[in-house]
Amino acid sequence: MKRKWGKPFFTVLALLFLTGAGVTFYMHASTYRNVIVRCPLKEPVDVALVDGQGLELPFMLLLDSLDVTLNPLKLLVVHPVTGKVSREKPNFFTIENGQTTGRIAGVDVIIHEYIPAAKRIVSADTITYISYGYVGGVPAVRMTAVDHESGVEATGWVSHKNFMNPNSNLSINQEKVIILPRAQITDVQAKVLMYHKDKEHDEFQVTYKKSGRVGRWKLSLVRHKEWEELVGTYAEFRFQDLLWLWLAYIFMGLLLVTTGIITTYKK
């Protein structure tokens, strides 16, 4: 029996397990590839989006708290046409470290005023920024820049644009413009509560590097590279059901076992 039917039997099993692994891997990748859950802070959510269409979840999520870590704001010197950052070192100046003087790419800078959240005001031919602690406020810096080689001096406001404020850059010459890009997000820590149909709930922390798992469900944060006005008021999670993935692992394990058995048979 072993010599006549053993090896063909396990070979057929191996092919079946290989097919099962391939199908389940495909189902996992195709079924839960674009499922996004958008969670406003302190508001329960039980619907996800799949390619723009709603999908009812088997649980309810509540974003209990959200902590966003940003890199310090940096002034950069770029080419006004190409937008490429100057290679001359140092090529940035950090705003939030308390320094008021420094040099960027051969340009001496003096910081006169820094407003963390400001609104642009235009009167006649004058542009200025005032403090504006509401949604739409942008960081703004009033500064003087002096080109070290030519001695050309320029004074003005520098800020980035949003839905309410346009860009404000400081032009030094035809090759150098000082800009203030948006702050880069380094990490987000979200405290999430998952409520089940039996009204019990699980609590877990999710960061950019750490996903949250409860049973067969996995939630990972959708990354946002730059700060925006609504950062800190909501979070987006990528939702996955791990059932198909677990089945794929089971098929792969069975495939390895049957392959090992087949190799024990003599030719």
For residue 131, the enclosing domain spans 72-179
Angle in degrees, CA 42, 194, 69, rounded to 5: 55
* pLDDT tens-digit map of 152-187: 999 999 999 888 888 899 999 888 999 999 888 888
> Is residue 86's pLDDT more than 50?
yes
Residue 184 pLDDT:
86
- Among residues 179, 200, 229, which one ends one of the domains? 179
Q: For the chain, give the mean pLDDT.
A: 84
Instruction: Name, in order, each residue with C-beta under 8 angstroms of 151's C-beta and a sequence gap of 6 or more.
Output: none
Asked whether residue 44 falls in the same domain as residue 83, the answer is no
Q: What is the mean pLDDT of residues 79-90?
A: 88
Supply the pTM of this predicted model: 0.68
Asked whether residue 175 falls in the same domain as residue 189, the answer is no
Asked whether residue 109 falls in the same domain as residue 137, the answer is yes
> Cα–Cα distance between 255 and 3 in angstroms, integer?
21
> Is residue 1's pLDDT more than 50?
no
Asked whether residue 117 falls in the same domain as residue 213, the answer is no
Residue 119 pLDDT:
92
Helical residues (DSSP H) of the chain, grouped into ranges: 7-31, 243-264
Asked whether the beta carbons of 192 and 204 are under 8 A apart, the reply is: yes
Asked whether the beta carbons of 122 and 103 are under 8 A apart, the reply is: no
Q: Which two tokens stand for residue 161?
A: 């644009």
> Cα–Cα distance between 150 and 38 in angstroms, integer?
52
Give the CA radius of gyration of the chain. Answer: 28
* pLDDT tens-digit map of 16-73: 888 888 887 777 676 666 678 888 989 998 888 776 677 788 888 899 998 988 888 9
Residue 240 pLDDT:
78
Q: Which two tokens stand for residue 203?
A: 């609590």
Q: Which two tokens stand for residue 111?
A: 């910081």
> Is residue 140's pLDDT more than 90?
yes
Instruction: Name, in order, each residue with C-beta under 8 angstroms of 55's C-beta and a sequence gap of 6 or more.
Output: 35, 47, 48, 49
Asked whether residue 202 falls in the same domain as residue 170, the answer is no
Q: Which two tokens stand for residue 91?
A: 């090529």
Residue 51 pLDDT:
67
> Cα–Cα distance between 102 and 100 in angstroms, integer?
7
Asked whether the beta carbons of 187 and 227 are under 8 A apart, the reply is: no
> Cα–Cα distance between 188 and 68 in angstroms, integer?
5
- Among residues 179, 204, 239, which one ends one of the domains? 179
Split into its structural domains, the chain has a count of 2
* pLDDT tens-digit map of 184-218: 888 889 999 888 877 778 888 999 888 888 777 78
Residue 227 pLDDT:
72
